[in-house]
Structure 1
């Protein structure tokens, strides 16, 4: 219900803003922009897709997702039949059983969630999505009310959406392409911000679900993760930009190939029909990709209307005016478009980041902060639409509110950290 109201509000606000600009400000082309899109121009290098083109984009996204889903869900089917998912569940069970008390210790969902969080941790977007959808499907099996999100599903998705990752590879690559003097300077701020966002999401959901976070097992795991992060920060901080990109590529891509190898070896050892298991899992991936097309289409169209109507520009200009009137430092406002659109569209937020770097220079404060915003959270509404849509959840309860609070905590942390690191 919450997503329905938000989606309706996006469309209503976008059309009302466009009508105001058309009839009171004389921008007669605004309705055409909303339907057909607006080409980029030197003043604004970010192309704005209209509703029609956005429909094609939504389908293209799902078509590309079909192959990825088929591949990873095929391998996961092998792992399940070979017992690998249950083995992984037993390892992580002591910790997950505390924050997911409704999920049995040896349930496959435990292993699926571990693989999703691991992929997310390494910034493997394409790999994280199939694992995440499989996790939601596994948790849906335990859900007594199939139309309403369960406690376990909310906890899983809120932690996923917080976007905790070790190395923001895509942000570093974009900054390098824009000839930033130090493309990796956003690395530590991004890690800190995503960790804070994850802790905020965990705390809020735990309070709502009456989960005691001061249990020894939870504290030990959190302290262990924190120690590992500190060790990684110290190591990566000693590397140059080229070495960081090489290390992150080796770590992430090497891990995927290692997982594939272990899964196939496990299947051969257990003497299962490996290829048949892969095909069965891949079929499920195809069905899931087709099922989520309407959800992705709906979210992207609403976001497109907000962008092409100029709603985002009005919000940003209004915030600039307010902070300037208060006599505050307004440098961070120039980076806010990325933060505002990040929960709605990852691709649009990336475009905003590039636009900020093009306008203010890749080494400006606004550009660095924009990079931190881009690497500091997942695409909240896209995640909600895809993951809940994949299992037919209609009532998301308090999940969206929790994710947005975690996003807000990340934005505030990003601003504070950026002033500390970049000024």
Structure 2
């Protein structure tokens, strides 16, 4: 219900704002909201040739393409005058994201189809893990811990192994593998959900832990920083780990208190201590490496582990081939069945993802997000927050809505202020310390047709806020 109302609020407020600006504001056209492409110039006005200043008119007539670019606009990068069909069109600034219709197309072609391919492959592997008995063995080993965190899950339930693989993939920065594992976990948890259209306690706990984004190898962030000529592209890795770890602990505590989980359990304490020790150990190891060593470690560890998981699954399936024979199937046929289920899951989640991304596109292109972002930054600056921090806030504000959008702000902040600036580094930490909340909600709950997400959205947004505050404190401490 909360998600539905929020979605409606974004859509309706954006439409009202766009229409208001067309008739009473400075907008000349709203076509870009529907048909525009990201980074396209925005049409501000149209005039007859004799209405423009003389020096512009003369320059346009002399130009071979009858176009003139003036770098005099203090707000946007440039102003472009294009003479065509007796009128001069004046463009300034660029569009923040694709329009509504291009977003529909891009959602299917650039997002859903690749996601379906990942789902097909990894769901095929997971089907092998199920038939071979590997997932059952993993669930049995981890049950003592998971039954404390997820008391409503029966002991040795298959969802335990899927959630474990999802957490591991997120931890190692394997986004392409994390989503299929997570969707399989949600489907498995749905089988024991007594109210099929309402999120269960276990599903909410899983979603909030997943969305907190605990990551060891922030591969993409390191790549963006390297492309922006950072002195040490991996220098934000430790702040990212600390921030995401605190976010994960916060998510666990908030949901745990709500669900009245026993935090004094010995197994929980032991696992938490082991996890902290493992993270500290890895950080100490990485910290003593030189720049080339860090780059080599971060670029190879996650990929190597993924290859090992794939290899283990196939070898274990070969060793346990008798189980496939008993199930009247083969290893390859089992993989195909799992892959087919992955494709079906992709088709199921498409409408949910489409609805959310179109709303976000309209929200950004309407200008409402820019206004909200500006006033929040203005408010922070008035209470003494440094400009270096407020300049990075757009990344944090957009991250819950769109990973691609916040990534654009990240790259822009590094290009504008420098990859080694406080703003550039803080933007990097914002980008890697949490998930795209609304996208995750749409994908995961949409995959099992849950309509009532209960308190999941509120908790995930609260964790996002905690991650933002932590990122600012950690960045100030390190840099």
TM bucket by the smaller chain? over 0.9
Can you list the C-alpha shifts for 1:129-177, whole angstroms capped at 9, x where unaligned?
0000000000001111110011111111110000001121100110001
Q: 1:8-407 alignment to 2 at 5 Å?
A: 8-29=8-29, 31-40=30-39, 43=77, 47-60=96-109, 61-271=111-321, 272=324, 273-407=330-464
* TM-score, scaled relative to structure 1: 0.96
Aligned to 1:419: 476
1:93 CA drift (Å): 1.2
Q: Determine which structure has greater relative contact order: mean sequence separation of CA pairs < 8 Å that are 6+ residues apart, divided by chain length.
A: 1
Q: CA deviation at 1:23?
A: 3.3
Report how far residue 38 of structure 1 moved: 4.9
Contact kept, 8 Å, 2:37 with 2:95, in 1: the verdict is no
Q: Distance in 2 between matches of 1:365 and 1:378?
A: 22
Instruction: Report which of the two has the higher share of helix.
Output: 1
Of structures 1 and 2, the larger Rg is shown by 2
Supply the distance in 2 between the matched residues of 1:257 and 1:185 (Cα, whole angstroms).
Answer: 26
CA distance in 2, matches of 1:368, 1:19: 38
TM-score, normalised relative to structure 2: 0.85
Greater fraction of residues in strand: 2
Q: Per the alignment, do residues 218 and 321 of structure 1 end up closer, same or farther by CA in structure 2, a change over 3 Å counting?
A: same
Say how many residue pairs are matched.
421
Q: CA deviation at 1:4?
A: 0.4
Taking the aligned partners of 2:378 and 2:457, their CA distance within structure 1 comes to 29
Aligned pair in 2 of structure 1 residues 150, 278: CA closer, same or farther (>3 Å)? same
What is aligned with 1:2?
2
Maintained 8 Å contact 2:396/2:430: yes
Aligned 8 A contact 2:381 2:390 in 1: no
Instruction: For residues 289-343 of structure 1, give each alpha carbon's deviation from its aligned partner in whole angstroms, at most 9, with x where no partner exists.
Output: 1111101101110110111111121112212332333344232111111111111
Q: Is the 8 Å Cα contact of residues 212 and 251 (structure 2) preserved in structure 1?
A: yes
CA distance in 2, matches of 1:364, 1:17: 35
Asked if structure 1 preserves the Cα contact closer than 8 Å seen for 2:96 and 2:365, the reply is no
State the 1:45 CA deviation.
6.9
**Partner Cα separation in structure 1 for residue 245 and residue 387 of structure 2:** 26
1:345 Cα offset (Å): 1.1
- Could you say which residue in structure 1 is the equivalent of 2:66? none
3-state SS of paired residue (2:450): coil
Deviations, residues 211-242 of structure 1 (Å, cap 9, x unaligned): 01121110111111011111111111122343
Runs (4 or more) in structure 1 with deviation over 6 Å come to none
Is the contact between residue 97 and residue 103 of structure 1 (CA under 8 Å) also seen in structure 2? yes
Unaligned runs of 5+ in 2: 42-75, 78-92, 325-329
Check conservation: 1:45, 1:355, Cα contact below 8 A.
no
1:16–1:330 CA distance, 2 compared to 1 (3 A):
farther
CA RMSD of aligned residues (A): 1.5
- Counterparts of 2:246 and 2:95, CA distance in 1: 30
- Of residues 36-45 and 246-255 in structure 1, the stretch that sits farther from structure 2 once superposed is 36-45
